[in-house]
Amino acid sequence: MSRTVYVNGDYLPEEEAKVSVFDRGFLMADGVYEVTSVLDGKLIDFDGHLKRLARSLNELEMKNPLSDDEWLTIHRELVTRNDLVDGMIYLQVTRGAADRDFLFPVDAEPTVVLFTQSKPGLAQNPAAKTGIKVISIPDIRWGRRDIKTVQLLYPSMGKMMAKKAGADDAWLVEDGKVTEGTSNNAYIVKGGKIITRHLGNEILHGITRAAVLRFAREAQMEVEERAFTVEEAKEADEAFITSASAFVMPVVGIDGVALGDGTPGPVATRLRELYLDEMRKAAI
């Protein structure tokens, strides 16, 4: 069955959904994106995603082509038209189509594409019960990782390196410190304290990160926002990652070293429950 995809104002069968070969997203990765999870047909933390979208666009001097209400309407329309119960909505805005040139075109209209991905039982991912294993690799991405651009080649290569090494994902390391995961924020837990890198240009400001740290503090858990090394991570009691589609996912091994007893730790397990409970309640 064909999906219904949104392209520049139209809802189209996916086979008919097309953008120009001159689109700057295609030619120069000149575009930004967001991924919003859907659970039970409702949008998780939608407001957070819209705020970050506006920020990414602003940082790249691109205008926001739609109002918050219009974005919400399209998201809901795609859920309905695709009978989406659990899954994701992917949203991409590029600077648009223009004759190829490094300088930003003055009159191009942004290209707007949204599509759904169905993931039945997204919140019951069995990996949450076993935990995942990561390898560490050098972080050789550009210096504005706080902008959510579609330049995902290195994260993609990182996930391939992990797969070839028999692991599930990779943590990126710069100047001896972990920045984040290929597509998620990274955390360790030591003596009950949750440690995750501080915000800056070096990492994406995860929507899930913000929510999880808020819930952790509300539950009187201790949080320290600072950089940590891979060696520190290997000696941690537990570790986990967060992202809009993985929620809170325990990490049980780093570079072949098992953390704790090699099973998901209590802090990651509790935060996953807290996050899913609270976010389902607030879903729209």
Shortest Å, Cβ 209 to ligand PMP: 6
Among 66, 137, 244, 259, interactor with ligand PMP by CB under 6 A: 244
CB nearer to ligand PMP: give 99 or 226.
226
Check binding of 243 to ligand PMP (CB under 6 A): yes
Note if 18 is an active site residue: no
87 binds ligand PMP (CB under 6 A): no
Measured CA distances, 284 to 70, 76, 81, 82, 202 (Å):
15, 9, 17, 17, 31
Tokens 């028999």 belong to residue = 166
DSSP-derived letter for residue 198 is P
Site string for ligand PMP, 187-206 (x = CB under 6 A): -----------------x-x
Residue 53 or 84 with smaller CB distance to ligand PMP: 53
C-alpha radius of gyration, the chain, whole number: 19
207 binds ligand PMP (CB under 6 A): yes
> Is the Cβ of residue 18 or residue 217 nearer to ligand PMP in the bound state?
217
115's enclosing H/E stretch is: strand 111-118
Minimum distance from CB of 208 to ligand PMP (Å)? 3
List Cβ neighbours of 32 (8 Å cut-off, separation of 6 or more).
53, 56, 57, 60, 62, 92, 93, 94, 147, 148, 149, 150
Shortest Å distance, C-beta 44 to ligand PMP = 10
Strand bridging mode 257-258 / 10-13: unpaired
Strand duo 177-181 + 169-174: pairing:
antiparallel
Contact pick of 136, 183, 196, 269 for ligand PMP (by CB under 6 A) = 183
Binding residues for ligand PMP (CB under 6 A): 35, 180, 183-185, 204, 206-209, 242-244
Q: Which residues are catalytic?
A: 148
